[in-house]
Amino acid sequence: MSMLTTDKVIMNATAQDKYEAIRMAGQILKDAGHITADYIDKMLEREEIVSTYVGNGLAIPHGTKESKASILSTGISVIQFPQGVDFGDEQAYMVIGIAAQGGEHMEILTSIAVICAEEENMEALRHAKTAEEVITILESEMEL
């Protein structure tokens, strides 16, 4: 069973700012039963501590260390923003929310960062037309 399913991928989204984008990523995780509502607050709190923008048009919002109790199961959400979302000095075109239990957190974070460090992967994600395309790109490079 894949961790990433079409109901956790939003295509052609828009957001007023990075906080709205983070809330959207968190809401997908909540709706899928991976987190409680408290986790979304912790995702926003983390953004205040340090930006979750990692470069190359990608932001990976996730909760703080104190948010572990709000994670019900490991899951990821993916949102494509063709016009970009302002994350400070940079534009994020892909926002991938993470909620992971135990040691899975760093593994998922690292896998996503490695995939998205490749310019051709980010271009493919940015220009994907369907959720299935996004899932195929991400799953081709990582064990979801």
Provide the annotated active-site residues: 62
Which residues in 7-45 are b (16+ Cβ under 10 Å) and which e? ebbbbebebeebeebbbbbbbbbbebebbbeebbbbbbe
d(CA 132, CA 58) in angstroms, rounded, equals: 19
